[in-house]
Every structure is written in structure tokens, then in C-alpha cells.
Amino acid sequence: MKQYDVCIVGSGAGAAPIAYELSLAGYSVVVLEKGPYLTEKEFTKDEIAVSRRSIYTPRLQDEHHVVETYRDDGSIARTTAAESGWNFWNGSMVGGSTNLMSGYFHRMKPYDFRLRSTFGSIRGANVVDWPITYEMLEPYYAKVESVVGVSGKVVQHPHQEPRSTKDFPYPPTWEQPISKWFDDACRALGYYSIPTPRAVLPYDALGRSGCSYSNFCGSYGCATGAKGNARAALLEKARATGNCQIIPHAYVYRIDADPSRATAVHYYDKRGDAVTVKAAVYVVSAQAIESVRLLLNSKNRHHPNGIGNRYGQLGKNLIFSAGGSGQGRFEHSRLSEKMQYELMTRGAFVNRSLQDWYVYHRYGRPYKGGTIDFLFEHANPTSRALRELYADGKMLRGKQLQARLEHAFRHARIFTYEVFNDWLPTDNCFVSVDESVKDKWGVPVGSIRLFGHPHDIEVGNFLADKAENVLRQMGAVEISRSISSAPPPNLVAGGCRFGCDPKNSVLDPNCRMHGMDNLYVSDASFMPTGGSVPYTWTIYANAFRVAERIRTKLKKL
């Protein structure tokens, strides 16, 4: 059996920087990825396959989760995702969910790292400060900008975080004419319009092609390599060193460990045969829910409740991105001919955000607010058509429906916004394992207990009010919102929070498991709180940081 220096489980945002850094440094790395190895040539804009049949995630009949929610009376409703259709899978392929991201990239801000000490505690929530500071992570945020490729333009605004470089290494991508309408509206309202940084290359660079403005970006694989997904940006380069072996269709089901060291990883290969891998260092990067599940399922006599669960912390404090979304419609009938043309320009990005209320004051005290990203309704035509099926609560038919579709697609366009605020970590939102429900390999599935703190909705609505001001100022009609505690399955973190005290955290500040000499966790699960931004830039940055710590460790071996 080949002995590797590093074995990584999963190949997404938390995994790829480690594979990249350590294979470039000459260490032998193996990446075990459950999904297939898809590259640019396999990715098409096939709505049926990608969005209607979800081919990049497992079939729910084969693999699913148990989902538990609280009823109004406090009792718990339990369902399997196979029964309810509730899908908590994201991208299952080499590069993980980053293949499918839209690439909205925001850094967390200095006060996100000291939420508890800045804003105080909130009843019912387990808010803590991070064991590292923004300043410690900043060099790695900067590294992601240049290595993965982040495009954008720094503008000064009250919540602009400190930067070690003046501006982004790549200018913004091609912008939709509506971005100018947005800027004008913000100017009138006194808001700071921010060009949204994107993990998208505007032109050929870093050995990858520039964006082709395919109009189908989020949820779709990138056929040019412009999107800074973990495979195109990092894993292909790791592989090219000859030191990194990527094994697709490798479903890891158990980690062996003695009291203080991981000793082997076991996976089922494409044919269903069990294979064992040994390495000096092990890294778990299977995304928040699956990393917890794997560690819980790896219980043995030394770790009777799962590896890393001595103090019952494993799986606790699961978080999502709180907030929601809203929209307004722009009608041709209210626009000049030029504006109609501008509105219908396809492919270009809106690239605009607001962070004016990242922190705001209410009732005499500071509140942690968040980010609002603006974009057009997703281009998927079937979903768009289905949204037009009802008018005033009544299902339309025949000519009435046809007229509505014609209008919606040809004479109007929906502009949307997404609110990102903190999903407060609580005792009521966590991952465990349900021994009574197994996946197609006979392995117990993850059970997800969901709970959104009421405070999250209050903040989400506050931000949605501001977003709607902009939509109204721009001239949108039919403005509506959906702010709730429904979790977005693609923006999930926590469950293995890092911290200094083993009694209330799973990982140490370097993301090494407390009490385990050679076992690290690097994916979204390390985050004790999520900041009010999408997570991927932070996951990437932290993984570069962890890679450095592992490198130092390997040097000593």
C-alpha cells in the first residue's frame, strides 16, 4: 500500500488549497473525491440535466439526509429527505460545490472575528469570537485574489475592510447596463454602491480562459475555466506537479484512529470495493454536514462518540447564511427604448452590492447587519415560466397564460437581491447521525436539526427594506420579498467550530482536531460564525493558512 504524506477527503474549497500548496512544495498528496472528475468539456448549459434533474448531486433514493424541524408547539417533526425531496447535497464532483457557485466573493470584516466582544451576547445564541483575527487571515485573502483569481474594484465605503494590496489583481467583469441605473439610484439615496468582487476572470489569465458570459453561471459548471472553482484554479495545477493524485468516485466511509492519531482512511471505489489509504497527515474536507457525519461514523473504542467528540461538540452550532431574497420587475412600458435595450442585455453581470448596514444602530445599540447582492433573476427558463403560472393566487391557463409568458420573457425582466446576514449559532441547529437510515453503501446518514433564531429574520427584514428602497428608486414594480429562516443548503458551515478551548470547540486555532496529532478539518465546518457574506473566499483563505501549518508540521517529520 502506498503511503502518502497527506490524504484529503473531499476536493472542494477547503481541500484544494491544501492539495495545491503541499504538492507544489513536493509532498505526495492523495485527494479522495466521492463524485466524478468533470472538466470544462463536460459542462453544458442544459437546464434539464443541471437544474431540473440535479445531476451533480446524488439521487435522493440512494443517499439522503434526515431533516428535523421544530413545530410551533416545540415538538420535532422528522422526515427523510428522500420522502420530502429536501435536498442538502451541493456539488458532488472534483472541485466540489465551487464548480456551481456564482463566485460572489466578499471578505469577512474585522468585527466578524470578534462578534461576541463587539456586539455582546444574544439570548439563545452561542456567539463567540474567532480564535484568530482578520489581520491573521488577510494575507490569505490576498493570496486567493491572485492565485484563484478575483476580479473587482475597491471603492471606499464606511465598512471597507483593510487590505494589504491597493486593488484587485483583475478588473471587474463585463457589467450589465443596469448597474449604472443602480449606481444612480444609490447616489440619489445616499447609499454606497459597491462593485461586487467575483471569482471570475474577465480575460485569459492564470492558464485559464476568460469568461464567455454564458448567462448561466450559478448552479452550472464553467466551460471556460474562468470561474475560480477549486478544480480549475488549484487542483489541475496540483496534479500537474506529479505529486497529487486525485481519485474520483472514492466514497470515504470511515477514518481509523488511535487515541491521538488518525491511522487510515477507508473508501469504496467505483466498483464498490473497499480500499484503504494511509498517510502522515489526514484532512477532512467533505463540507460541513458530511465531514461531521464521517467523523461521527468513525467512532471506535478510543473515540466512542466519534472522532473529535470528547466534549459533545461535534456537529453542534451548524449555521447557514441567514436572510433571503427579494425581487422587483422592470416593465418595458415604463422605459425608454434605449433602456429597454439595456435591460435585455444578456450575459453581463450586475456586480453590485450594498454593505452600508454591515453594522447599524437601532434602539440605541449597534446591530450586526449584513450584505445585499443585486443580480438578475436566474436565466433558467423553465423555472422562470413556472413562476408566472399564478396571478393573484389563481392558476392561469390557455391564452391568458401564454400572454403572461410572452410579457414576462419579452417585455419585462426581474431584478433580484440576496440578503446575507449572520445565522446565529444555537443549541437547536446541529448535525448528528441517524443509525436507522442508511445510504446505498449501508452507512448511517447525517441528520440535520434546523432552527433559525428570530433575530436573524429581524435583521434580514431590516436589510430587505433597504434593498427595496433601491428597487423602487430604480423604477421597479411588483416588489416582493422572501425573508425567512429557511436554510439555503448551498451556504452551510459550522459543526466543527475552531477555538482555543477543547470543551467548546472541535478544532484548535490551526484547524487541527483537539487531541489529535495529525487530523485536520478544512472546509466550511470550522467557522464558529459565518460573517454576513457568502463563505467561499473565507474557506479558501483559511485552507491556504492551514496548508502552511501542515507544511510546517511535515517539515518536522
| Residues at the interface with ligand SF4 (CB under 6 A) | 200, 211-214, 217, 220, 222, 224, 226-227
Interface region with ligand FAD, contact rule CB under 6 A, candidates 10-18, 39-47, 451-459, 463-471: 10-18
> Using alpha carbons only, how large is the chain's radius of gyration in Å?
23
CA dihedral 480, 484, 489, 491 (to 10 degrees): 80
Closer residue to another protein (CB): 351 or 518:
351
Which residue in 173, 179, 214, 219 binds ligand FAD (CB under 6 A)?
219
Interface region with ligand FAD, contact rule CB under 6 A, candidates 40-48, 99-107, 334-342, 455-463: 99-107
Rounded to 5 degrees, φ, ψ at 255 are: -115, 130
Which residue in 23, 28, 51, 102 binds ligand FAD (CB under 6 A)?
102
Find residue 318's DSSP bridge partners: 494
Q: C-beta of 401: minimal distance to another protein in Å?
A: 7
Grid cell locating 395: 392558476
Q: With binding defined as CB under 6 A, does residue 235 bind ligand FAD? A: no
Which residue in 154, 189, 264, 405 binds another protein (CB under 8 A)?
405
Closer residue to ligand SF4 (CB): 142 or 226:
226
Of the candidates 555, 533, 420, 519, which has an alpha carbon nearest to the alpha carbon of residue 141? 533
Q: With binding defined as CB under 8 A, does residue 55 bind another protein? A: yes
Interface region with ligand FAD, contact rule CB under 6 A, candidates 90-98, 121-129, 407-415, 452-460: 90-98
Residues 270, 249 contacting (CB under 8 angstroms): yes
Closer residue to ligand SF4 (CB): 200 or 448:
200
Q: With binding defined as CB under 8 A, does residue 119 bind another protein? A: no
Find residue 195's DSSP bridge partners: 352
DSSP annotation string for 34-92:
SS----GGG----HIIIIIS-TTS--TTTS--EEEEE-TTS-EEEEEHHHH--------
Give the CA distances from residue 508 to residues 184, 308, 496, 516, 541, in Å, rounded to whole numbers and listed in that order: 47, 11, 10, 10, 17
Q: With binding defined as CB under 8 A, does residue 381 bind another protein? A: yes
Q: With binding defined as CB under 8 A, does residue 179 bind another protein? A: no
Q: At residue 407, what is the residue type? A: H
Q: With binding defined as CB under 8 A, does residue 556 bind another protein? A: no
Distance in angstroms (rounded) separating the CA atoms of residues 150 and 109: 17
DSSP annotation string for 291-308:
HHHHHHHT--SSSTT-TT
The number of residues that bind ligand FAD (CB under 6 A) is 43
Which residue in 365, 399, 555, 556 binds another protein (CB under 8 A)?
399
Q: C-beta of 290: minimal distance to ligand FAD in Å?
A: 4
Q: C-beta of 49: minimal distance to another protein in Å?
A: 4
Q: With binding defined as CB under 6 A, does residue 536 bind ligand FAD? A: yes
> Which of the choices ligand SF4, ligand FAD, another protein, none does residue 13 contact, using the CB cut-off of 5 to 8 A by kind?
ligand FAD
CB-side neighbour CA atoms (13 Å) of 358: 24
Closer residue to ligand FAD (CB): 106 or 449:
106
Q: With binding defined as CB under 6 A, does residue 90 bind ligand FAD? A: yes
Q: With binding defined as CB under 8 A, does residue 397 bind another protein? A: yes
Please, which residues have CB within 8 angstroms of residue 404's CB and are 6 or more apart in sequence?
A: 388, 391, 396
Closer residue to ligand SF4 (CB): 198 or 453:
198
Residues 220, 100 contacting (CB under 8 angstroms): yes
Residues 31, 11 contacting (CB under 8 angstroms): yes
Grid cell locating 484: 425567512
Residues 260, 308 contacting (CB under 8 angstroms): no
Q: C-beta of 42: minimal distance to ligand FAD in Å?
A: 15
Q: With binding defined as CB under 8 A, does residue 426 bind another protein? A: no
Of the candidates 287, 135, 109, 107, which has an alpha carbon nearest to the alpha carbon of residue 199? 107
* Per-residue contact string for residues 249-288; x = within reach of ligand FAD by CB under 6 A: -xxx--------------------------------xxxx
Distance in angstroms (rounded) separating the CA atoms of residues 285 and 12: 7
Q: At residue 306, what is the residue type? A: G
List, in sequence order, every beta strand (DSSP E) within 291-425: 318-331, 352-354, 359-362, 365-368, 370-376, 390-391, 394-395, 412-422
Q: C-beta of 50: minimal distance to ligand FAD in Å?
A: 10
The number of residues that bind another protein (CB under 8 A) is 55
> Which of the choices another protein, ligand FAD, ligand SF4, none does residue 229 contact, using the CB cut-off of 5 to 8 A by kind?
none
Which residue in 17, 96, 328, 452 binds ligand FAD (CB under 6 A)?
96
Q: With binding defined as CB under 8 A, does residue 36 bind another protein? A: yes
| Distance separating the N- and C-terminal Cα atoms of the chain | 20
Distance in angstroms (rounded) separating the CA atoms of residues 540 and 472: 36
Q: C-beta of 441: minimal distance to another protein in Å?
A: 15
Closer residue to ligand SF4 (CB): 222 or 246:
222
Q: With binding defined as CB under 8 A, does residue 214 bind another protein? A: yes
- Interface residues with ligand FAD (CB under 6 A) are 9-14, 32-35, 90-93, 96-98, 100-105, 218-219, 250-252, 285-288, 290, 294, 490-491, 523-524, 534-537, 539
- Interface residues with another protein (CB under 8 A) are 35-38, 42-49, 52-56, 59-61, 85, 93, 174, 202-203, 210, 212-216, 220, 223, 248-249, 270, 346-348, 379, 381-382, 385-386, 389, 395, 397-399, 401-402, 405-406, 409-410
